[in-house]
């Protein structure tokens, strides 16, 4: 049970990390935040958060399995997370809003 929870957390961390990395890009930021402009400092912060998310995911994988297995789980979790983020951006971009909750509600979304 503990392992399952840790792995779920690892997948979540990877997804959040990929989400932040996507938000650091102008196109995707606009899909999620509409007219709210993306400042360079925010983009840097988002990239740092993204890297942190992916690193946290690796740490969680290592806490569950032998390193040889954990590395595979992590690489595949990254792929799954990237697909999940990409499809969310395609069909439900607003769902990524909570990743930048500190900016408040988007002022306008086209």
110 vs 24: CA distance, rounded Å: 19
- 49 makes contact with another protein (CB under 8 A): no
- 89 makes contact with another protein (CB under 8 A): yes
- Count the site residues for another protein by CB under 8 A: 25
Binding range to another protein, per CB under 8 A, among 41-49, 50-58, 70-78, 100-108: 70-78
**Binding residue for another protein (CB under 8 A) from 13, 16, 32, 73?**
73
| 8-state DSSP, 100 | G
Which of these, 62, 63, 110, 84, lies nearest to 99 by C-alpha position? 84
Helices (H), the chain: 2-23, 26-33, 40-64, 67-91
32 vs 89: CA distance, rounded Å: 8
The residue among 25 and 52 lying less far from another protein, judged by its C-beta, is 25
- 1 makes contact with another protein (CB under 8 A): no
The residue among 95 and 107 lying less far from another protein, judged by its C-beta, is 95
């Amino acid at each position: 049970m503990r392992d399952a929870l840790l792995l779920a957390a690892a997948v979540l961390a990877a997804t959040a990390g990929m989400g932040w990395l996507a938000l650091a890009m102008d196109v995707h930021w606009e899909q999620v935040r509409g007219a709210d402009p993306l400042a360079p400092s925010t983009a840097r912060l988002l990239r740092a958060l993204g890297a942190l998310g992916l690193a946290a995911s690796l740490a969680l994988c290592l806490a569950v399995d032998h390193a040889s297995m954990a590395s595979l789980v992590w690489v595949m979790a990254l792929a799954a997370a990237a697909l999940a983020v990409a499809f969310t951006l395609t069909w439900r971009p607003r769902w990524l809003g909570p990743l930048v909750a500190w900016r408040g509600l988007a002022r306008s979304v086209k």
